[in-house]
Amino acid sequence: MKNSSISPQTAQNLVVQEVQPPPGEGTCHFDVEHTLFLSLSPRPVRLLHTQDGKTHTGLYRKGDLLITPAQTPIFARWDSDDHYLRIQLNSEFLHRVAAETLNQNTDQLEVQPAFHTRNPQIEAIGIMLLGEVQQGQTGNQLYLDSLANILAVHLLRQHTTKKPQVPVYEGGLPQRQLVRVLDYIDAHLDSEIELANLAQLLDMSQFHFSRLFKQSLGVSPYQYLLQQRLEKAKRLLKTTDRLIVDIAFDCGFSSHSHLSKTFRQFTGMTPKAFRMS
């Protein structure tokens, strides 16, 4: 059975685990986490599960979703090898997103249990999170923060009792605010930048900050950060003889291999080859 969580900082709000159990049964009960089970099995798996006083039996195909609110025990039995992604959002984090992003009274918001449902947006977010689990990424805090916030908003909008609407802000960030954010990123390229750090600079929710930033520059905060780290690495590779591992740390990458993998992905060559070219 695989059981891998992502990023210790993100784990305060979000835990993602890829699980591949043999046939069996079990009971789960999470006090403070809302849990989403996203089927990854290429062959449909017959499941019987009981939660919130209701029992459901069905074939779960790849992409099917089971939602279990916090403090809701669930019993499940499956008759063949299973493969799913377990995504858990901390209830306090969800309430915070509701208050900051949706301007909602969180006392009136309750996540609804769901059997055998589909949600293309949540499925897409789940697949991106799965990629982080499988690759063992450790330097993508801003990316993970963004996915956690988007996932929380989708869950609030489509799987709660109130189904609130998300306020729409258009036009991007004012130039003064954008420059303030870009200056902060430039000054902290060697540090772990969290989405909360950037949003707090402008006193806005993380979700709305991400949307307005992308409207301003055409890329997400994480994509911009990665671009700037790679550009700094290029400059240091060409203008200094420093060790590549030292350059990696100075540019915010977690290791020599992390820099090399990202560098090759975006330039088609290794840092060493780029330096020699």
- Domain parsing of the chain, residue ranges: 10-158, 229-276
Tokens for 109? 């918001």
pLDDT for 208 equals 92
pLDDT for 230 equals 95
Whether residue 185 contacts residue 209, with contact meaning beta carbons closer than 8 Å, is answered with no
According to CATH, the superfamily of the domain at 229-276 is Homeodomain-like (1.10.10.60)
**Domain 10-158 identical in fold to domain 229-276:** no
Rounded (5°) CA angle 138-144-149: 165
pLDDT for 109 equals 79
CB-based contacts of 243, cutoff 8 Å, min separation 6: none
Q: What is the pTM of this model?
A: 0.84
> pLDDT (tens digit, 0 to 9) for every residue of the chain, 277 residues total?
444 555 444 567 899 999 999 999 999 999 999 999 999 999 999 999 999 899 999 999 999 999 999 999 999 999 999 999 999 999 999 989 988 887 766 777 789 999 999 999 999 999 999 988 877 655 578 889 999 999 999 999 889 987 777 777 778 999 999 999 999 999 999 998 999 999 999 999 999 999 999 999 999 999 999 999 999 999 999 999 999 999 999 999 988 999 999 999 899 999 999 999 8
Q: 10-158 — its CATH code?
A: 2.60.120.10
pLDDT for 122 equals 94
